[in-house]
Structure 1
Amino acid sequence: MTAPESTMTPGAAGVPPNRTVLLSVACLGQFMVLLDSTIVGAALPDMQIRLHTQLSGLQWIVDAYVLLVAMLLLSGGVFADRFGRRRLFLTGVVVFTAASVVCSVAPSLGWLIAGRVLQGVGAAALSPASLALIGAAYPVPQERVRAIGMWAGFSGIGLAAGPLAGGVLVDAFGWPSIFLVNVPIGAVLLVAGLRVLDESRNPAAPGIDVPGTVLSVLGVGALTFALIEGGSRGWTSPVILGGFAVAVVLLAAFVVVEGRGPAPMLPPRLFRQRLFTVSNTAMVVVGFALMGSSFFFSQFFVHVQGSSILRAGVQTLPATLAMVVVSPYAGRLAARYGFRIVVTTGLALAGLGLVALGFVHADTGYGNVWWRLAVAGVGFALTMSPLTGAAIQAVGPQEGGLASGVSSTTRQIGAVLGVAVLGAVVRTRESGGASFEAGLGSAFVVAGVVTLVCAVFTGLWLTRSKSARG
């Protein structure tokens, strides 16, 4: 995170803004982004019925958003530093809010996916800019840590509120209402931001990695297309095989460009540190398993167990609430016991919880389901903060912001792949004659096994590197 040693422009009133108000605005912006990431899951069953779409359509609704966030997140941080954190934050608010309106009035699946793409662009600007604003306003390290803790706390509240709020809104007004809830939040953010936010920038910020950004978006996009559409078009279809081939070529070109570019978005030198490489590899798996499995939570309760959308929103809460409750303690546990013990324990719990979910059925009572969600939630909560901390500790202190951004990006890339791959598992089982229920069970088991394998991986390799002690 860059310091606010840059140009500063006072707010409209001509006096420095109240930092508490600034912090509130930044936290509310992040709350809106995180709320949107979980509120959509509650609406997927209603979207499937009203938009007359199949599983692949639902996957695109989620992945169109996550893909853009994943690929533009690092560039968003650089844009904020170069062109102004206030400017990029407010631009992100406008784009995200306008895109939410587009989503709410979308007459078809295609329009909804287009709106989700725009939401992803807005979120990729808004989220890193909100954190950069806090860093610029709180130059004292101890104050900054407390401020970022509040920012992260609001993120957790947004994650936890999403399923319940989504269930209530969809049950009362239908799926478009989950996007309209962003409009008043966006309006408050825009008005407050114009009044209280100071501009700050870092003239020494690195340049924008345009080739790397373009290649990464197109490469991961091609891979996502092939994984999502392979089940319906056939895995040996020329279009699907071509999609995989294009993805390989583009991602290989991305690696080459990043190795030679003057200001790469993913500097290869960082991955020479084992702690950095292992922590980010594990973060990909966390994103894969967490987002890929949670994509199916509401669908399981609605389509398999016959719950209403509102009830399904409540039933998914044990996972998110467990994450909100446990997450604040994960960093402290890692500081006391080390990254390897806490992360490996978390991955093992998450994997066991997901494997256990793979064996629930239509007639399984909720009393025998909720604890599986909670165990998975506790496990994931124990992994994310320590993995980010490990990535930051593996590099020099001046690159902590970059390391944090890379960690968030790898988690988002894992989320894209999780929705695509686990969806492919469900469709492949269905095409082989199995039921949707059996397909979901297989998807949960696959996610759990991948997570357990990653637990073994971190247990062996998440150890000290030259600049870390974890």
Structure 2
Amino acid sequence: MHMGTSESRTLSVAAAGTLITLIAFTAPLATINPTAAALGADTAGGTWILSSMSIGLGAVLLSAGTIADDFGRRRTFVGGAIVLAVASVAAALAPSTLSFVIARIAQGVGGAAVIASSLGLIAHAFLAGPARAAASGVWGAAVGGGIGLGPLVAAGFERSADWRDAYWVIAIASVSVAAVARRLLVESRAEHARGLDIAGTALLATGMSALLAALVEGRSGWGRPVVLILAAAAVVLLTAFVIVEARSRIAMLDLRLFTEPAFLAATGAAFATGAGIIALMSYMCGFVSVALGISTLGAAWLLSAWSATSVVTALFARRIRMSGRMQLVGGLVAVGLGQSSLFGITGDTSWQRLVPSLVFTGMASGVVNAALGREAVASVPAGRGSLGSGANNTARYVGSAVGVTIVAVLAARPAGSGAVALADGWNQASLFTTGISFVGALLVLLCRPRRTPQTTPDAEVVTSDGAPSPRRSSDTARP
């Protein structure tokens, strides 16, 4: 991939921030048992430890994308990285389950700002076409790499030192990427700012928080008052959000986007990715440790058979000669086929049985991740790349929260105990996530693009260091 110095800096920093955020997101997967023991967490507390960062991500991703486009993508990226660092320090020092969960939610808030602004930075720096496709592949590789590295980093520290040390490393990495971004990146934002939609931002954040909290609490019993109250609050708040956005002149989310096939395809594919393969892989580390007797570090390495393959495939996905929409269709179908091959696990299955399926599914996931990065930006108006990223990743992490909840319920259904019951639960869960991937592929296939007039070429501006920076004509750049 040939690109200038300014573009390479932008891509490197944006991908690094995304990688660090995903490492933070998946770190507890491999160390949930020692973490829960150190914090004195019961079963419900363990569930919150695993799920709390999703609440922060899902609650503010869309808002962060809008803020980045209107008030500065570099500023939002740097601020998010600093919040992620501070929250990681709080997680490393947390004395109790409650303080750790609060720190993880704050990690999600900071990570949301980083992820949403990262794709906006890339969209501003790279012209639509081969250059942006290659850059989106690198971003997609960072997503897959972070998912795989998180458990490896945490398990490695837990084995050699202390599980808390992983959060110190995340904090140091976050501060470093914030400093580099502040020094090297050029500020950019949409030419026509809509203004801060305070009502919409507050309603979406509280509504999404209530929804995700209800999903987490529901795993301990769906009829409990706290679950019903949270679910009712989510319905009321999110309904109010839709009403406010429909009437607002400065709406953070133009609801007409949901009538656009490209936006529906990208958002639906992101939700299916979260509720499908990400949900199943989130459950896998714990499953293979208990059911197959694999060590914490071994489980993390097994997960990397999927994630590492997705990294390599995402980097080369630009060479696939088909539209982004059809890449999503083909990728999701292949992901579904890969998950279906994970069905049929028994109590005496060896870990080697899983590797070919994980490698194949990882290849397909890499194609999906690369295409999602590109389609998220392409599905929204010019100059609103961070909004597209925020909406797309909101769908991904809400989908993950929904999928993990359903997988947990299905995995607990088989009667009995021991490896046989765990294997039965895994098989039911894999069938569900397989179906989600196929349904997602069908949805994207049905979202046929509309014919639109040919757009004018993207403009080029000169950045503060004198290097040409191709961008959409509706963007402005500031040193």
Answer whether contact 2:152 2:297 (CA < 8 A) is retained. Answer: yes
The amino acid that maps onto 1:163 is: P
Residue 444 of structure 2 corresponds to residue 458 of structure 1: yes
- Structure 1 position 424 matched with structure 2 position 409: yes
Partner of 2:202: 214
C-alpha contact (below 8 Å) 2:276/2:403 kept by paired residues: yes
Instruction: Map 1:387-402; keep pairs closer than 5 Å.
Output: 387-390=372-375, 392-402=377-387
Q: Superposition RMSD on alpha carbons, in Å? A: 3.3
Gaps spanning 5+ residues in structure 1: where? Answer: 1-16
Give the whole-Å Cα distance in 2 for the aligned partners of 1:390 and 1:94: 28
2:292, 2:351 within 8 Å by CA — same for their partners in 1?
Answer: no
Identify the range of structure 1 (140-149 vs 348-357) with the bigger mean alpha-carbon deviation: 140-149
Contact 1:231/1:424 (<8 A) preserved: yes
Residue aligning to 2:287: 300
Alpha-carbon distance in 2 for matches of 1:27, 1:392: 15
CA contact (8 A) 1:430 1:439 kept: no
Kindly state the Cα deviation for residue 319 of structure 1 after the two structures are TM-superposed: 0.9
Percent of residue pairs identical: 31
2:174 alignment partner, one of 167, 174, 186:
186
Report matched runs for 1:14-53 at 5 Å. Answer: 24-53=12-41
In 2: Cα distance, 1:174 partner to 1:88 partner: 32
SS at match of 1:295: helix
Deviation at 1:49, TM superposition (A): 3.9
What SS does the corresponding residue of 2:287 show, helix, strand or coil? helix
Please, which moves more after superposition, 85-94 or 286-295?
85-94
1:289 partner amino acid: G
Please give the per-residue CA displacement for 1:11-67, whole angstroms capped at 9, x wherever unaligned. xxxxxx977556544443232112222333222243244444355433322332122
Which residue, 216, 229, 234 being the options, matches 1:242? 229
Equivalents in 2 of 1:159, 1:231: separation in Å? 23
Q: Deviations over 1:159-181 (max 9, x none)?
A: 34333323212222232122111
What is the distance in 1 between the residues matched to 2:211 and 2:148? 30
The answer to whether 1:96 aligns with 2:104 is no
Residues of 2 paired with 1:395 and 1:187: CA distance?
Answer: 31
Q: C-alpha displacement at 1:72, in angstroms? A: 1.5
Q: Does structure 2 retain, via aligned residues, the 8 Å contact 1:169–1:177? A: yes
Letter paired with 1:66: S
- Note the C-alpha offset of 1:324: 0.9
* 1:448 lines up with 2:456 in the alignment: no
Q: Secondary structure at the match of 1:175?
A: coil
Q: Distance in 2 between matches of 1:140 and 1:240?
A: 45
- Aligned partner of 2:472 in structure 1 is none
Q: Distance in 1 between matches of 2:130 and 2:73?
A: 22
Q: How many residues align?
A: 449
Unpaired runs of 5+ residues, structure 2, are 455-479
Q: C-alpha deviations, 1:189-209, integer Å up to 9, x for none?
A: 344445444555557322222
Secondary structure, in 3 states, of the residue corresponding to 1:363? coil
Give the CA deviation at 1:271.
1.3
Report the CA distance between 1:99 and its aligned residue: 0.7
- Going from structure 1 to structure 2, the CA distance change for 1:424 and 1:322 (only over 3 Å counts) comes to same
Query: Does the Cα contact within 8 Å between 1:67 and 1:217 map onto a contact in 2?
Result: no
SS at match of 2:206: helix
Give the structure 1 partner of residue 394 of structure 2: 409
Q: TM-score, normalised by structure 1?
A: 0.83
Q: CA offsets per residue over residues 70-98 of structure 1, 9 Å max, x none?
A: 23123223333444444333322221111
Question: Which amino acid is 2:280 matched to?
Answer: S
Mapped partners of 1:422, 1:186: distance in 2: 32
Q: 2 CA distance for matches of 1:340 and 1:272?
A: 16
Matched, 1:290 2:277: yes
Aligned CA distance change for structure 1 residues 289 and 144 (closer, same or farther; 3 Å): closer
Deviates more, 1:154-163 or 1:404-413: 154-163
1:132 CA drift (Å): 4.3
Cα distance change, pair 46–301 in 1 and its aligned pair in 2 (3 A): farther
Q: Structure 1: which amino acid aligns with 2:259?
A: R
More deviation, 309-318/276-285: 276-285
**Contact residue 32 and residue 158 of structure 1 kept, 8 A:** yes
Alignment check: 8 A CA contact 1:391 1:407 kept: yes
Partners of 1:201 and 1:276 in 2: CA distance: 21
Query: In structure 1, how many angstroms separate the alpha carbons of the residues matched to 2:439 and 2:125?
Result: 42
Letter in 2 for 1:95: V
The answer for the alignment partner of 1:380 in structure 2 is: 365
Rate the CA distance shift 1:468–1:217 in 2: closer, same or farther, 3 A: farther
Match of 2:303 in 1: 316
Displacement, 1:394? 4.8
